[in-house]
Amino acid sequence: MNKKTILAVSVFVSLAFASKAFPCGGAKNEHKAKESLFSPAVAIASDVEEKTIKVSGMTCSKCSKAVEKAVKKVDGVIDAKADHKAGICKVKMKAGTDVQKILIAIKDAGYEPAEN
């Protein structure tokens, strides 16, 4: 076999196995994108609401993560993204989710929420 044939076969085999071995078609460390706050699949659902809550007291990314973690524990919350620089938390939730429970979770985490 000449070099071009070997190269072509190598590329074909590696692409064929990569697409079957990994659901995302890439390397071992790559993962399929999870549906998140900004995912079109989540945004299309009619029984999903988005709410932006002002949060004071967040000063760093660890604060943002603490707020996100607390909010995600509330029943009905699909996703939460907190931004300490903007002082907000965007919450994607099922319709009918009790916003007061989200505000309480933020307060219990040590931050001051303000419903918009």
pLDDT at site 80: 97
**Distance of CA 69 to CAs 4, 32, 91, 108, Å?**
53, 22, 12, 12
Q: Low-confidence residues of the chain, pLDDT below 70?
A: 1-46, 115-116
Beta partners for residue 50, in sequence order: 92
Question: What pLDDT score was predicted for residue 69?
Answer: 97
Q: Residue 93 has what pLDDT?
A: 95
Q: What is the mean pLDDT of the chain?
A: 76
Residues of the chain with pLDDT > 70, as a percent, come to 59
pLDDT on residue 114: 85
pLDDT value at residue 5: 59
Place of tokens 């993560």: 65
Give pLDDT, residue 29.
41
> pLDDT of 37-57, one tens digit each?
455 554 555 689 999 999 999
**Domains of the chain listed by start with CATH number:** 1-32 (no CATH), 34-115 (3.30.70.100)
On whether the CB atoms of residues 35 and 42 are closer than 8 A, the answer is yes
